[in-house]
Chains A and B, each alone.
Chain A
Amino acid sequence: NAGVTQTPKFRVLKTGQSMTLLCAQDMNHEYMYWYRQDPGMGLRLIHYSVGEGTTAKGEVPDGYNVSRLKKQNFLLGLESAAPSQTSVYFCASSRRDTIYEQYFGPGTRLTVT
């Protein structure tokens, strides 16, 4: 089992460029999440999904979009990157029946210049 994987691991974007971060899990988890981690601010929830084809906004959704077309994948998109989106992005997943335990991916370090 690979668990939760994220692609890419690092990326540098220029302001205004777009990109998509891919999260994949092979644990058959129903729930998936995207967080951003900034120094001194902990982990903040961007968007989450409780099942294939469904998404919901978290604490800091502005400037991001997501899609969950397949159960195992959760995509995070930045349509027009801004320097304020420089962060480390973590994906996580959890099962519905052990709803509370979240497993995290290795993270993607994104820099927007």
Chain B
Amino acid sequence: GENVEQHPSTLSVQEGDSAVIKCTYSDSASNYFPWYKQELGKRPQLIIDIRSNVGEKKDQRIAVTLNKTAKHFSLHITETQPEDSAVYFCAASIPGNQFYFGTGTSLTVIP
């Protein structure tokens, strides 16, 4: 099956700096890559996603890039704010819509 690796496991940044989280996947059939944000004690919520026919996608301060050849994708958060502090999960989906999640990155934004 698919194997998704996520790095780093923890990340601390100063408010206003950028944060980058990276994921790799193993199955070349994976064609959809969502990112979820999970605040403490709450449910995961989709923040951005990218499909395999697109190389980059932006939504305000958040962007995701995908390199299909290298089988890796990254989440970029610019101008970080304290409310960005949470655990972020990447995932890869193979046809049939099974999701394989990374192990999560705990992001702390220091005011």
* Contact status A99-B101, CB under 8 Å: no
* Total B residues in contact with A, Cβ cutoff 8 Å: 24
Digitize A81-113: 1 where CB-to-B-CB distance is under 8 Å, 0 elsewhere.
000000000100010000111101111000000
Question: Known interface pairs A31-B97, A59-B1. Does A41 touch B46 (Cβ–Cβ under 8 Å)?
Answer: no
* Contact status A104-B101, CB under 8 Å: no
Is B42 engaged at the interface, CB distance under 8 Å to the other chain? yes
Question: Known interface pairs A101-B49, A104-B45, A106-B43. Does A48 touch B98 (Cβ–Cβ under 8 Å)?
Answer: yes
Indicate which residue in B1, B44, B102 contacts A104 across the interface (CB closer than 8 Å).
B44
* Contact status B98-A43, CB under 8 Å: no
* Contact status A100-B98, CB under 8 Å: no
Digitize B59-99: 1 where CB-to-A-CB distance is under 8 Å, 0 elsewhere.
00000000000000000000000000000010101000111
In Å, the complex CA distance between A76 and B6 comes to 28
The DSSP consensus for interface residues of chain B is strand
Q: Which residue of A lies closest to B49 (CB)?
A: A100
Is A22 engaged at the interface, CB distance under 8 Å to the other chain? no
In Å, the complex CA distance between A99 and B95 comes to 10
Can you give 26 contacting A-B residue pairs, CB < 8 Å?
A31-B97, A33-B99, A40-B9, A40-B104, A42-B89, A42-B103, A43-B44, A43-B91, A45-B98, A45-B99, A48-B97, A48-B98, A59-B98, A59-B100, A90-B43, A94-B97, A100-B49, A100-B93, A101-B34, A102-B34, A102-B99, A104-B45, A105-B43, A106-B42, A106-B43, A107-B43
- A interface residues with partner B (beta carbon < 8 Å): 31, 33, 40-45, 48, 50, 58-59, 90, 94, 99-102, 104-107
Given contacts A45-B98, A100-B49, 12 further A-B contacts (CB under 8 A): A40-B103, A41-B103, A42-B4, A42-B101, A42-B102, A43-B91, A48-B97, A59-B1, A99-B97, A101-B46, A102-B99, A104-B44
